[in-house]
Amino acid sequence: MDVIVVVVLSSIVMVMLPGSPEWLKKSSGTMALFGLAGMAVLVILPHCEPLVTRFLRMVPGPETLRVKLIGIGEQFLLGLRAFHHVSRFALFVGISFGVWLLDAWNSVLIARALHIAMPFAVAILLLAGLALASSAPSTPGYVGVYQIVAVGILPEFGISKSAAIAYILVLQAMSYVVYIFWGLPGLWKLKRISVPGVREPVPDPDPVATSPRDGSH
* CA of residue 8 relative to chain centroid, distance: 15
- Between 142 and 68, whose confidence is greater? 68
Could you report the per-residue pLDDT of 42-76, keeping only the tens digit for each?
777 777 777 777 788 777 878 888 888 888 888 88
- Predicted local distance difference test score (pLDDT) of residue 167: 93
With a cut of 50, say whether residue 140 has pLDDT above it: yes
- Predicted local distance difference test score (pLDDT) of residue 215: 47
Between CA 125 and CA 20 the distance in angstroms is 8
What does pTM read for this prediction?
A: 0.62
Between CA 123 and CA 107 the distance in angstroms is 6
To 10 degrees, the CA torsion angle through 62, 64, 67, 72? -110
Cβ neighbors of 31 (< 8 A, separation 6 or more) are 3, 6, 7, 132, 135
Give the mean pLDDT of 128-149. Answer: 74
Between CA 6 and CA 1 the distance in angstroms is 9
Could you report the per-residue pLDDT of 68-108, keeping only the tens digit for each?
888 888 888 877 777 777 788 888 888 988 998 999 999 99
Residues in the chain: 217
- Predicted local distance difference test score (pLDDT) of residue 152: 85
Give the mean pLDDT of 146-151. Answer: 87
- Predicted local distance difference test score (pLDDT) of residue 111: 94
Could you report the per-residue pLDDT of 116-126, keeping only the tens digit for each?
999 898 898 88
Percent of the chain past pLDDT 90, that is, above it, reads 16
Between CA 165 and CA 124 the distance in angstroms is 17
Q: What confidence category does residue 217 fall into, taking pLDDT thresholds of 50, 70 and 90?
A: very low
With a cut of 60, say whether residue 40 has pLDDT above it: yes
- Between 89 and 195, whose confidence is greater? 89
Q: Which of these, 172, 143, 125, 164, lies nearest to 23 by C-alpha position?
A: 125
Q: Mean of the per-residue pLDDT values for the chain?
A: 78
With a cut of 60, say whether residue 210 has pLDDT above it: no
Q: Which of 105-109, 157-161, 203-207 is least confident? A: 203-207
- Predicted local distance difference test score (pLDDT) of residue 41: 76
Give the mean pLDDT of 168-185. Answer: 91
With a cut of 80, say whether residue 191 has pLDDT above it: yes
Give the mean pLDDT of 15-35. Answer: 69
